[in-house]
Amino acid sequence: MSGEISIRQVASRADRKAFVDFAWEVYRDDPCWVPPLKDEVHGLIDPKKNPWFGHGTAAFWLAEQGGKVVGRISAQVDELVQEHMAPGTGQWGMFEALDAGTAEALIKTAEAWLRERNMTRALGPISISIWDEPGLLIQGFEEPPMVMMGHHRPAYRQWIEAAGYDKARDLYTFELDIRIDMIPVIDRLIKSGEANPRIRIRNVDKSKFDQEAAIILDILNDAWSDNWGFVPLTDAEIAYAGKKLKPIIVEDLVKIAEVDGEPVAFMITIPDMNEMIRDLNGELFPFGWVKLLWRLHKVATKRVRVPLMGVRKSLQGGRMASQLAFMLIEFTRRVCVNKYGINVGEFGWVLEDNQGMMSIAHLPGAGINHTYRIYEKRL
């Protein structure tokens, strides 16, 4: 393809469609890419649907050459990032490109937009918040990602680093054979917790899902508050996340730990939705939604993923935190293996410098299967 690369901001419904659909061009020959549900991606970038826009602003661009889309990118400024990370921190993401020249032009466009808004540092790729799909895949290209994790072209790393970006943090996911029992020292800790009348591990109750979701996300906001990159979920985002998660929640795979009747920890385990949607090619209509609803009736995936887990900050660093975490893992493991016949689980993402979660993630039979990198650059 020849001709000059032009960059234009997404402005119309047709532009948004081209922005979303471009991923199908990038990954059409990649057997490990899982087509996302297009409706979900449109919802992510739509200020009328995504409550993130209540505290953030974003712009989206298409790169074109010879009348054909050859790249896309977003840039975003989040008021909560300014407050909880550092003033002047902007982000970019939703990045896809067919060649190095397009990548360079897109990244420069995003940086210029951030500078115009007085941002002095850029983090990326983050699409579009830390709670969506953070980081660039740099290890683990040979297997499909699980639900809520990204997949990227190997060349992106070189193109981003050529634009002057250095590593900010790495995020890991761990794959494990959940048929393997806990080592004796952990097993004793779990049994001690089971014998403790103060501790109760319970399933969520979907008949009271709004209340349960609020409990879980309140613990999450507290438990993760000291982590790098953390921004709290607002009430509107909690409600939105609960609505999106409810259809894929299985009651005995999502657990809350109580101590003396107070909820202090949780773990969410979900079937790998990517297995359910892979053959839908991103389309729910006309017949995809029927297939998906049928598949959601039972847990029939080969893999499950733990995307979120947390223990209240007041307990962190003590024996109780580890005990509760391992009890949540073990109770869920038993259900997965004995009830649903699932043998493979994925845990994460986990920040490389989160020592507590890193120690828990190194379970018997576990190993890092994907590494995602968030980059940074002074503007």
pLDDT tens digit sequence for 134-178: 999 999 999 999 888 999 999 999 999 999 999 999 999 999 999
Q: What pLDDT score does 362 carry?
A: 80
Per-residue pLDDT for 289 more than 80?
A: no
Output Rg (C-alpha) for the chain, integer angstroms.
21
Residue-wise pLDDT for 82-132, tens only, equals 999 999 999 999 999 999 999 999 999 999 999 999 999 999 999 999 999
Confidence at 1, pLDDT banded by 50, 70, 90: low
**CB neighbours of residue 132 within 10 Å:** 15
Structure tokens at 345: 């689980």
pLDDT of residue 290: 62
| Among candidate residues 302, 308, 307, 309, the one with its CA nearest the CA of residue 344 | 302
Q: How confident is the model at residue 189 (pLDDT cuts 50, 70, 90)?
A: very high
- Output b/e per residue, 82-115; b: 16+ Cβ within 10 A: beebeebbbbbbbbbbbeebbbbbbbebbbebbe
- Give me the CATH topology for the region 6-171: Aminopeptidase (3.40.630)
Paired tokens of 31:
């057997």
Ramachandran angles phi, psi of 176, nearest 5° = -145, 150
Both tokens of 199, joined, read: 């501790």
Whole-angstrom Cα distance, residue 155 to residue 247? 36
Output the average pLDDT for the chain: 92
Residues 6+ apart with CB under 8 A from 318: none
Least confident segment among 59-73, 113-127, 315-329: 315-329
Task: Read off the pLDDT band of 241 (50, 70, 90).
Answer: confident
Percentage of residues in the chain having pLDDT higher than 90: 73
Name the token pair of 304: 């499950």
Is the pLDDT at 239 greater than 80? The verdict is yes
pLDDT at 259: 96
Rounded to an integer, what distance in angstroms lies between the CA atom of residue 199 and that of residue 311?
Answer: 13
Q: Give the Cα separation of 253 and 204 in Å (integer).
A: 8
pLDDT attached to residue 335: 94
Amino acid at 376: E
d(CA 327, CA 143): 29
Is the C-alpha dihedral spanning 294, 296, 298, 302 positive or negative? positive
**What average pLDDT does range 75-84 have in this prediction?**
97
At residue 148, the pLDDT reads 86
**Residue linked to tokens 């993402």:** 349
Find all residues with CB under 8 Å of 17, minimum gap 6, and list them.
none
> 273 pLDDT exceeds 90?
no
What are the structural domain ranges in the chain? 6-171, 176-372
Dist. CA 19–CA 11, nearest whole Å:
11
- Whether 285 has a pLDDT exceeding 90, the answer reads no
In CATH terms, the superfamily for domain 176-372 is Gcn5-related N-acetyltransferase (GNAT) (3.40.630.30)
Question: pLDDT for 49-63, tens place per residue?
Answer: 999 999 999 999 999
Cα–Cα distance for residue pair 323/228, rounded to 1 Å: 24
Residue 277 has a pLDDT of 81
Domain 6-171 and domain 176-372, same fold? Reply is yes
- Res. 379: pLDDT tops 60: yes
Res 371 pLDDT > 60? yes
Per residue, what are the HEC states of the chain? CCCCCEEEECCCHHHHHHHHHHHHHHCCCCCCCCCCCHHHHHHHCCCCCCHHHHCEEEEEEEEEECCEEEEEEEEEEEHHHHHHCCCCEEEEEEEEECCHHHHHHHHHHHHHHHHHCCCCEEEECEECCCCCEECEEEECCCCCCCCCCCCCCCHHHHHHHHCCCEEEEEEEEEEEECCCCCCHHHHHHHHHHHCCCCEEEEECCHHHHHHHHHHHHHHHHHHCCCCCCCCCCCHHHHHHHHHHHHHHCCHHHEEEEEECCEEEEEEEEEECHHHHHHHHCCCCCCCHHHHHHHHCCCCCCCEEEEEEEEECCCCCCCHHHHHHHHHHHHHHHHHHHHCCCCCEEEEEEEECCCHHHHHHHCCCCEEEEEEEEEEEEEC
CB 370 within 8 A of CB 149: yes
Determine the pLDDT at residue 364. Answer: 79
